[in-house]
Amino acid sequence: MVIVSQVKLKPWQHGWRLVVAALLGAVAWLAVASSLPPGYEDLRTEWLLFGDPVIGLGCLVASMWRRRYPLSVATGVVIVSAVSASAGGAALLVLGSLATRRRPLETTFMALACVGTAAVTEGLYPRGSDPDPWWLSLSFIVLITGIVVAIGAAIGARREELQSLRERAESAEREQVARAAEARIVERHRIAREMHDVLAHRVSLVAMQAGVLGHRTDLPPAQASMLARGIADGAHQALEELREVLGVLRASPGGLEPPQPSLANLPALVADARALGVNVAYTPESVGTPPDLLARTVYRIVQEGLTNAGKHAPGAEVCVTVAGGEGEGLRVTVRDSGATKSVTPPPSAGFGLLGLSERVELAGGELDHHADPDGGFVLTAWLPWPARGEGSE
């Protein structure tokens, strides 16, 4: 059973319904009055002239609560209409209102009751010398009742359709808001990940150089000058890389993006780490030319591994390996032997490995990081690299 929520009617909408019901009641009253034998007078005649209109008016007033108490009001009005011809309009009004609620069982029962009470009213008063056949009057009553029920059902179906459309529109709006919120979250994560990947490594190098310059007061002037120049160059490169990542984030969809790091940039990345005193062992292996996303992810993994080794394991030996190839995937490992110097690590937000994990997951790979038994730290990632044509089969 479908229950349709009732739309709140405006005063003029209530008004014209009551006027139509009153007119129908007046027509029914005139039809009965005109069918009385000429000069006939008894208690029923007096009732028709005085009591019947009062009952009809009372039923019209009661029908104003048909939307709040549909079944109760309909039952009362239909029963009372058995002794009042002028209440027939109110009975049809409450029957039509009940039909709009799409309750077939209740509507059918009330329609039959309406036909029955109308037949009782028809036989309550005497007729003239040439009355219509009873079956003709009954057929007319059934026809009018059926028309009212059909109109009410059509109005109810229309309301149900409008309600369904309104609910679907509200649901679509909620989904759109949820998608927009999710897109904003994804975009914030992307911005945070790009900012960290681009700036964390470069700023860490600058911090390490500044730390050496601040603690080593016995450095020769030439070496101190080299460190100061390295700090300035690192800060300048950090600004340049920040401009690049902001350009990528502001770029319109489909626009040209600045060149992104790839496997070809790994030797330069390792050289930067060595220039700061990090003992890095890296021998490039021929793994082919992976797709841009895969190459960029490999670069970020090595970058994060070297950054963490420089911050948390000063003096350690760091080994970087990139192995694999097309069809078998790439395995990236950054392993350090553990810190050989006791230093206070620089402050860290702890988002580097989290962002790296998200990046590897987006590439369809797996990331693992843990401390090894020798006191070092191992960062390992596996990234898929399907053979050409494999993804389309």
Q: What average pLDDT score do residues 268-283 get?
A: 84
The mean predicted confidence, pLDDT, of the chain is 80
Q: What is the per-residue pLDDT across 173-184, written as a single tens digit (0 to 9) for each?
A: 888 888 888 877
% residues pLDDT > 70 (the chain): 79
* Alpha carbon distances (Å) from 172 to 168, 177, 186: 6, 9, 21
Q: How far apart are CA 303 and CA 318, in angstroms?
A: 12
> How sure is the predictor about 1, in pLDDT bands with cuts at 50, 70 and 90?
very low
Q: What is the per-residue pLDDT across 215-268, written as a single tens digit (0 to 9) for each?
A: 666 777 776 777 677 777 777 777 776 776 666 666 555 555 556 788 888 998
Q: What is the pLDDT of residue 3?
A: 46
Q: What is the pLDDT of residue 335?
A: 92
SS3 label, residue 34: helix
Q: What average pLDDT score do residues 276-294 get?
A: 84
Q: Are 332 and 321 in contact (CB under 8 A)?
A: yes
Torsion sign (Cα): 64, 69, 70, 75: negative
CATH of the domain spanning 262-393, picked from 3.40.50.1100, 3.30.565.10, 3.90.930.12, 3.40.50.720: 3.30.565.10
Q: The sheet that has 329-336: what strands, in order across it?
A: 279-282, 317-325, 329-336, 377-383, 366-371
Choose the weakest-confidence range: 51-65, 252-266, 281-295, 317-331.
Answer: 252-266
Q: What is the pLDDT of residue 392?
A: 42
Choose the weakest-confidence range: 102-116, 245-259, 270-284.
Answer: 245-259
Alpha helices in the chain (DSSP H): 11-34, 43-46, 52-62, 70-80, 88-99, 104-124, 134-215, 221-250, 266-275, 292-312, 352-362
| Domain boundaries, given as residue ranges, for the chain | 11-175, 262-393
Choose the weakest-confidence range: 53-67, 247-261, 271-285.
Answer: 247-261
Instruction: Record the pTM.
Output: 0.48
- The candidate with the shortest Cα–Cα distance to 312, out of 351, 340, 271, is 340
